[in-house]
Amino acid sequence: MNRPMTGSAPDPWRAPVMVAHIPDTGLHRKLEASVTERQAMAELAGVREILSARAAFDVTPKSGGRVHVTGQVRARIGQTCVVTLDPMESDIDEEINLTFAPEAEARRLADLIEQGQDDEAPSEIADQPEAIVNGIIDLGRIATDALFLAIDPYPRKPGVVFEAEVTAPDPEDNPFAALKALQDKKKDKKKGQ
């Protein structure tokens, strides 16, 4: 079962970036989750295991305190086939393209979008920006969220198809069979009188 991360659960894969320390030219970060981080993520995601998890991000400052984050998350996860119940592995390859804004601006833009006034908002914010919380963007959290959203909740081994066992219904096994039996009993009783 895939579970998006909640604010109360600790983030298993952390890679915080202080927005104030991002150079004007931007920065590039490569991440690889440790064994402990992968085990914690697997438990949260409800999968058998996460064999590998890597991410690469480009973080670019924009006007108005906004930050644009692009990148890619790649992982190999171990799951159980829902048809055969055999262990299987799946590859995940997700693109990241997010805009972050200071909390107050993110809230204001979210309100505009929610009120249906997003026509007045610039086209670059058609998707609600994420909030920069306490001056930090956590690249590990972004990678984990993308990974969790990409996990197939009903994985199947390649080529496996679920085929339900079909049995012909017994004509005597239906809701009216009991009524027919009572009716036959009545007929037999009348014949016997």
Among all chains, which residue has been given the structure tokens 């690249």?
A: 139
State the CB neighbour count (10 A cutoff) for residue 20: 8
Q: pLDDT tens for residues 127-170? A: 788 999 999 999 999 999 999 999 999 998 888 777 777 676 66
List, in order, residues 6 or more apart from 133 with CB less than 8 Å away. 103
Q: pLDDT band at 1, cuts 50/70/90?
A: very low
Do residues 43 and 5 lie in contact, with contact meaning Cβ atoms separated by under 8 Å?
A: no
Q: Report which of 32, 61, 45, 34 is spatially closest to residue 139, judged by C-alpha positions.
A: 32
- Residue among 150, 125, 128 at smallest CA distance from 74: 150
Q: Where does the pLDDT of residue 81 fall: very low under 50, low under 70, confident under 90, or very high at 90 and above?
A: very high
pTM over 0.85: no
**Per-residue pLDDT tens over the stretch 10-28:** 789 999 999 999 999 999 9
- Total residue length of the chain: 193
